[in-house]
Amino acid sequence: MPRHPAVRYVAPFVIFLLLLVLQPHNPLPGPVEQVVRVGILAGVIWYFSRGVVDFRLASPVTTVLAGIGVFVIWILPDLLIPGYRSHQLFTTFGEVKTSIPSADLLSPVVLIFRTIRAALLVPILEELFWRGWLMRWLENPDFEKVPFGSYAAKAFWICALLFASEHGPFWDVGLLAGAAYNYWAIRTKRLGDCILAHGVTNLCLSIYTITTGKWEYWM
């Protein structure tokens, strides 16, 4: 039976969320778990989405700068306002802490593969879902008729709000990041530019997390 076209955009994201839900019940040691998770996500992206992933770029230099800009947006409130993230406005939506056990943070394997997942795989599966499918589907359920990067205010803001909700106590910067990536999709009309921008943001955030020990950014 032929797959619904949305499966290629949605399935990797759904499996990603399922792995997050199952993480507390995972019996594997931390380093092994990180390697296995990268392998699973890489496999499902290849299996479901290899026909729709497009890495072509319209504006590589400005896309890299855009990704760095979103990284700055992500960390700036906590840098400027001590204790900012501890306000009930944020903690109501989840604990501001990492999901990785502290002992595992001493493992180079955990750090390397967590960075690979954040910088290479998550941008692909999230951009497929949020910009590749959802923002188009909200405009027209027959989403393949909607060109990538098409603008509709309702779809733009619903997608940004849902993207924010995915990030728990970081919902405020998640909302700004979601709006920025939505705008970048509209400006570049390229999935590849959105993947690159998102990847640069996550790479910068991973390096910042490791070098500063602010592990809460790795939820």
pLDDT of residue 104: 87
pLDDT of residue 30: 84
The amino acid occupying position 206 is: S
Whether the pLDDT of residue 124 is over 70: the answer is yes
Whether the pLDDT of residue 2 is over 70: the answer is no
Whether the pLDDT of residue 214 is over 70: the answer is yes
Whether the pLDDT of residue 130 is over 60: the answer is yes
Mean pLDDT of the chain, nearest integer: 94
| More confidently predicted of 130 and 104 | 130
pLDDT band at 183 (very low <50, low <70, confident <90, very high): very high
Please give, one letter per residue, the 3-state secondary structure of the chain.
CCCCCCHHHHHHHHHHHHHHHHHHHCCCCHHHHHHHHHHHHHHHHHHHHCCCCCCCCCCHHHHHHHHHHHHHHHHHHHHHCCCHHHCHHHHCCCCCCCCCCHHHHHCHHHHHHHHHHHHHHHHHHHHHHHHHHHHHHCCCCCHHHCCCCCCCHHHHHHHHHHHHHCCHHHHHHHHHHHHHHHHHHHHHCCHHHHHHHHHHHHHHHHHHHHHHCCHHHCC
Whether the pLDDT of residue 1 is over 60: the answer is no
Tell me how far apart the alpha carbons of residues 113 and 120 are, in angstroms, rounded to a whole number: 10
pLDDT of residue 103: 87
Q: Mean pLDDT throughout 1-27?
A: 88
Q: Mean pLDDT throughout 93-100?
A: 89
Whether the pLDDT of residue 171 is over 50: the answer is yes
Tell me how far apart the alpha carbons of residues 185 and 150 are, in angstroms, rounded to a whole number: 8
Q: CA-based diameter of the chain, in Å? A: 55
Q: Mean pLDDT throughout 70-81?
A: 96
- Give the percent of the chain with pLDDT over 70: 99
Q: Which two tokens stand for residue 74?
A: 């992500």
Residues in the chain: 219
| More confidently predicted of 97 and 124 | 124
